[in-house]
Chains A and B, each alone.
Chain A
Amino acid sequence: MSLNPPQGPPSGLAPRRVVPLTLLVVGIVVSAGIAVAATAIYIELVPSNSHPSGPAVTVIDDLGRTVVAPLNPARIVVLAPSVMDIVYRLGLRDRVVGVGCDADLPGGLLNEYSPNQSSLWSITPASCIADFPSLNVEEVLNSSPQLVLATTITSAATVEQMSVTFHLPVVLLEPTTLQGIVSDVQLVGTIFPSVSTATNQLVAALDRQLVSAADFDSNLSTNGVPLPTVLVTYYFDSGGYYTYGPDSFGESLINVLGAVNVAGSTPLIYYELNGSAVLNDSPQVIIYGTSWNDPWLVANETPAQWASPASGAPYWAQLTGSKVALDVTLVSESDPTLILALPVLLHAVHPALYPPT
């Protein structure tokens, strides 16, 4: 029989005192956690609203968000080329204090703008706000903008953070049809009434193009002209073509051009066709975009680099439809330039029926 007293807990305290003390500490910690979490949830769900000082206008953007924007803001950040097109055409380029672009490639190449756009819009690395792989919110704040114009290519959550946390009015422009582009021009014009003349002129010019295209399509229908099948693609890799599936913006463009989208019956909105599928579809017209600024894409942009079947000639060589190369921005960006270039696109799709520009 041992005469040694039983070993106590390492802390030296008797068990009866340790347990309540532990529970007390845990209780305090848990209570603090609940208080912190509850306060934080309240802050998140009920953010303080801060409207612009001075004259303001309430608009509904393309995602249905209600935005209170200052009238005629002097400092704006533009995060997408399609939006920059609108801003430039309305004569607002000098108000742009930052543009979204990934200037992280060697030599400061700009991956989001074609050479023409970079030159026309004076896009330089110095004006860039990094938006790859995620938007650099600090650089947006450092630009001290009064308004941010963006699309959903920029992460929607990040865009909303700017709106909610930093009280920056953010308008998202994401047209799903060509008419939607016209609506976006009018929306921007609502925020900038000082350029109402330019807005009206641009809207009128866009409407004329759309009406002209609609008339041409109507004539085709009236005369029973069969609509050509069209494949529109602006990027390809060794896997195949990327094209526009059903209910996409690209398909609405093809419809306006009086054509049938070969990818229109695919189940996906944005579809990568394989070579054999394209051969099977045998599109009568193939429109492919060129002139990416990225050196790798430039080196690989010719569809002839497209993968070959296991035997026989490369897919590209086997396609018998007419192949039309156009600036990539004309087939990938939903902006006024696209609508104004409808005659070029119509001639590409209907070379015999629509006169060249």
Chain B
Amino acid sequence: MRRRRVRRIALVLLGLSGLALLFFSPLIGPVPVPAGVVDTILLHEASRGVLGGSACGTYAASTRQCNIWVEIVWDARMPAVVLALAAGAALGLSGGSLQGVFRNPLADPYLLGLSSGAAMGAALIFVFHVALASAYLALPLFAFLGGLIPGAVVYLAAGRARAVETLVLTGVALASLFSALLATFLLVNPLGEFQVSFWLLGGMTGATWGRAGIVLGAVLIAGGVVALQGRQLNILQLGPEVAQSLGVDGRRVARRLVLTTTLLTATAVAFTGVIGFVGLVSPHIIRRLVGPDYRVVLPLSAAMGSVFLAAAWDLAQVVVPSVVLPVGIPTAFVGAPFFVYLLYRRRSPSGGPSV
């Protein structure tokens, strides 16, 4: 009963936090926009002009200034906020799924070499200037395809591997291989290294409603698929032999989830770059709160990741005035110490494997 209450509280808090971020994050940005105007713009644009009167309300501003503010708030900031919420959900959900599949609390969305593959795909644009004139579409496409390659290899290996440790090691090996390939590419044009490095740290710059919608759609689709695997994941935690005796084919579940998380993570990374710690930390926080039931852990991990990344994005915009940091910096600065704290805090019986 207590655990059920905690779950409900966690769900409500995360939901409220997400809504709060949705409304307050557009207030944050390098260009000062009056808070009242931001709220009016959100109301006006979200209702397609039905609510909120004029776009800038009663605030005395020229038409040109008002149009600039509308562009900044609705076309620049809001898509970034929605993208952060969606990408965070994608990473949280992927991290929770992979930690369940591999029964490894250190698993995260990039365990399968996705980040290295995606970075290699992005490097083709920055280093070799492939399709540079169409970089707006080419960059996420190349990053997506690059991220799929190692995931596809692990997916195929999942059909043959006898143990999940084999899959983990396969992913680690692929990550090393692609990192080496990336380093080779960067030798060709060190100027491209600059842009690849910042892309690797992640960010919401370049967010549009379309891109946010693609990631959000991917989260909903993957979330639906993963939601049906919660019970099987719970059984898998008992070990492969026990799972087999209970009628759960661990290999099939692993393949399904590897495929789903690969597609989901690659979609998120294509538009945000590589953002660390979200997929690693979110499931840990949720498991400590609500226990190890994956039917609950997975959706709440998505919600936690969503809130975490959106808050980190806000932090990335305000830490250094007029400079938007790569969002991977605040997620690492916040996530890493918090993760260490979680690991060394007194464990509850529902905690993960001991070191």
Residues of A at under 8 Å CB distance from B?
22-23, 26-27, 29-30, 32-45, 47, 63-65, 102-104, 130, 132-139, 141-142, 144, 152-153, 155-161, 163-166, 242, 268-270, 272
Contact A64 B133 (CB under 8 A): yes
Chain-A contact segment, one of B164-172, B182-190, B242-250, B341-349 = B182-190
Assuming A29-B224, A40-B209, A44-B214, is B76 touching A141 (CB within 8 A)?
A: yes
Are A134's CB and B190's CB within 8 A?
A: no
Interface window among B50-58, B96-104, B215-223, B251-259? B215-223
Chain A residues with CB under 8 A of B325: 133
User: If A138-B31, A139-B322 touch, does A33 touch B136 (CB 8 Å cutoff)?
Assistant: no
> Which residue of A has the minimal Cβ distance to B217?
A37
| B241 contacts A by Cβ under 8 Å | no
Q: Is the CB of B213 within 8 A of A39?
A: yes
CA–CA, A160 and B136, complex, Å: 5
- The answer to whether A142 and B213 have CB atoms under 8 Å apart is no
- Establish whether residues B31 and A139, one from each chain, have CB atoms under 8 Å apart when the complex forms: yes
**Which B residues contact A (CB, under 8 angstroms)?**
29-31, 64, 68, 71-72, 75-77, 125, 129, 132-137, 139, 187-191, 195, 198, 203, 205-206, 208-214, 216-225, 227-228, 320, 322-326
Inter-chain CA distance A10–B136, complex, in Å, is 49
Given contacts A40-B210, A270-B190, contact A130 B322 (CB under 8 A): yes
Q: How far is the CA of A176 from the CA of B120 in the complex (A)?
A: 25
17 pairs, CB–CB < 8 Å, chain A vs chain B: A22-B228, A26-B225, A26-B228, A30-B225, A33-B224, A37-B216, A37-B217, A40-B209, A40-B211, A64-B133, A130-B324, A132-B323, A139-B30, A144-B64, A156-B135, A269-B188, A270-B189
On whether A30 and B324 interact (CB within 8 A), knowing A64-B133, A165-B75, A268-B187, the answer reads no
Q: A33 contacts B30, CB within 8 Å?
A: no
User: CA–CA, A45 to B140, complex, Å?
Assistant: 12
Asked if A138 contacts B29 (CB within 8 A), the reply is yes
Q: A40-B212, A138-B76 are in contact. Are A30 and B224 (CB under 8 A)?
A: yes
- CB pair A268 B188 closer than 8 Å: yes
Instruction: Give Cα distance in the complex from A268 to B191, angstroms.
Output: 12
Q: B residues within 8 A CB of A103?
A: 322
Please, which residues of chain B bring their CB within 8 A of the CB of A165? 75, 208
Q: Indicate if the CB atoms of A26 and B224 lie closer than 8 Å.
A: yes
Across the interface, name the chain B residue whose C-beta is closest to A125: B322
Give the interface centre of A63, A65, A142 by most chain B CB atoms within 10 Å: A142
A352 and B72 alpha carbons, distance in the complex (Å) = 59
**In angstroms, how far is the closest chain B Cβ from the Cβ of A341?**
23
Separation in Å of the A64 CB from the closest CB of chain B?
5
CB distance from B232 to the nearest CB of A (A): 13
A32-B195 contact given A141-B71, A270-B190, CB 8 Å threshold = no
Q: How far is the CB of A237 from chain B (nearest CB, A)?
A: 12
CA distance A189 to B228 in the complex (A): 62
**Known pairs A133-B326, A138-B72, A157-B135; A33 contacts B189 (CB<8 A):** no
B-chain residues with CB within 8 Å of residue A32 when the two chains form the complex = 220
Main SS at interface, chain A: helix
Known A-B contacts A26-B224, A38-B217, A136-B30; the reply to A44 vs B190 at CB < 8 A is: no
- Which residue from A26, A37, A144 sits with its C-beta under 8 Å from B68? A144
Do B322 and A155 have beta carbons less than 8 Å apart? no
Residues of A within 8 A of B205 (CB): 134-135, 137, 155, 158, 161
Residues of B within 8 A of A45 (CB): 137
Name A142's contact: one of B72, B77, B218, B221 (CB within 8 Å).
Answer: B72
Task: Name the CB-closest residue of A to B208.
Answer: A165
Identify A33's interface contact among B195, B210, B221, CB under 8 A: B221
Chain A residues closer than 8 Å to B320, beta-carbon distance: 104
For the complex of A and B, list the 7 residue pairs with the smallest distance between their C-beta atoms, beginning with the closest. Answer: A37-B217, A40-B213, A33-B220, A160-B136, A44-B210, A156-B135, A30-B224
Contact A65–B133 (Cβ < 8 Å)? yes
Query: Min CB distance, B72 to chain A, in Å?
Result: 5
Let me know if B68 and A141 touch, CB within 8 A. yes
On chain B, the residues within 8 Å of A160 by CB distance are: 134-136
CB pair A134–B136 under 8 Å, yes or no, is: no
- Complex CA–CA separation, A166 to B70 (angstroms): 11
| A40 to B221 Cα, complex, angstroms | 14
In the bound assembly, the distance between CA atoms of A138 and B69 in angstroms comes to: 9
Whether the Cβ atoms of B68 and A142 lie closer than 8 Å is yes
Give the distance in Å from the alpha carbon of A30 to the alpha carbon of B217 in the complex. Answer: 8
With A40-B211, A104-B322, A268-B188 already in contact, the answer to whether A33 and B219 are too (CB < 8 A) is yes
Q: Within the assembled complex, what's the spacing in Å between the Cα atoms of A163 and B133?
A: 12
Given contacts A40-B214, A138-B72, A142-B31, contact A33 B223 (CB under 8 A): yes
CB neighbours (8 Å) of B326 from chain A are 133-134
| Contacts A27-B224, A272-B190; A36 near B216 (Cβ below 8 A) | yes
Do the beta carbons of B189 and A268 come within 8 Å of each other? yes
Given contacts A22-B228, A43-B208, 19 further A-B contacts (CB under 8 A): A33-B218, A33-B220, A33-B221, A33-B222, A35-B217, A36-B217, A37-B220, A40-B216, A40-B217, A104-B320, A130-B324, A137-B205, A138-B29, A157-B139, A161-B136, A161-B208, A164-B136, A165-B75, A268-B189
